[in-house]
Amino acid sequence: MTLTRSHTNPPELTADKGYSHSGEIEELLHDNPNLWRGCDMAGQGFYGRSTGFPRLDDILPGRGWPQNGLIEIITPCWGMGELQLLIPLMRSVVEQGKWILWIAPPYLPYAPALVQAGIDTDQILVVKRDTSCKDALWSMEKALQTSNCGLVLAWQNWLPGKVLRRLQLAAETGDTLGVFFKHHDSKYSPSLIRLQIKDSASQGRTFSEAEVTVIKARGNFRPLTTQVDLYQHT
């Protein structure tokens, strides 16, 4: 018996028509929030939610806030413009008919200023500072999981990384954005974005300007800093 080798040529490797629609593939990649690509670095892509401050958008991946997840804003003391930075975001949330939950703010929200900024105070709920840590954490997690709540603002320096990871998952589940204000940075934080605000008045600039640094953001390879006019929307 003679063993012969078949010389049948393999089929040609041609591009299937089903894979030629690059636009459809691009759309699928764009709509997957768990996928990060090298082109999604700061200033590229438009999948983020605009901050309302063009200079800040320019140094954030996706040119804006993430659609959901946790953000940390670090300031040496309260009242350095951290809330002013979020005015456009808060306005967009209430325009969608969603609630904003404030967890343990250092000062009671000043309703006239919020109304003047176009924010309906009837859509704001406040958990006071004297609330126990356990109850505050429970409120944060439930609010982040609720689709009717569009934004959670929390002043908490005591949350460990394990708790933040749990809250990050809650925010992804509820498609909600959570912002945590802190005095100290933690480089091991699981938050998607960490920002630091510094007062620029001492550097000869106007009182309304602040120096904002993106310490960490998914898609950024190094810290980026810009100057932001906090009162451009007032």
Q: How far apart are CA 13 and CA 167, in angstroms?
A: 48
Cα distances from 229 to residues 92, 97, 214, in angstroms, run 19, 28, 16
Average pLDDT estimate for 152-158:
89
Burial 3-34, CB ≥16 within 10 A → b, else e: eeeeeeeeeeeeeeeeeeeeeeeeeeeeeeee
pLDDT at position 157, please? 78
pTM of the model: 0.77
Question: Which distant-in-sequence residues (6+ apart) come within 8 Å of 155 by Cβ?
Answer: 78, 103, 104, 105, 106, 180, 181
Q: Which is higher by pLDDT, 42 or 168?
A: 168
Straight-line distance from the first to the last Cα atom of the chain, in angstroms, rounded to the nearest whole number: 93
Q: Could you report the per-residue pLDDT of 97-147, keeping only the tens digit for each?
A: 999 999 999 988 899 999 999 999 999 999 999 999 899 999 999 999 998
Alpha helices in the chain (DSSP H): 22-30, 54-57, 87-95, 111-116, 133-145, 161-174
Q: Which is higher by pLDDT, 94 or 189?
A: 94
pLDDT at position 208, please? 77
Q: Could you report the per-residue pLDDT of 170-209, keeping only the tens digit for each?
A: 999 999 999 999 998 887 888 999 999 987 655 555 567 8
Q: How far apart are CA 160 and CA 124, in angstroms?
A: 26
The 3-state DSSP class for residue 202 equals helix
Name the nearest CA neighbour of 198 among 209, 182, 185: 209
CB 151 within 8 A of CB 179: yes
- Helix, strand, coil shares of the chain, percent, nearest 5, are 30, 25, 45
CA atoms within 13 A on the CB side of 197: 26
pLDDT at position 17, please? 46
pLDDT at position 46, please? 54
pLDDT at position 23, please? 64
Neighbours of 189 (CB within 10 A): 22
Task: Tell me the pLDDT of the chain averaged across its residues.
Answer: 81
Domains in the chain: ranges and CATH: 41-229 (3.40.50.300)
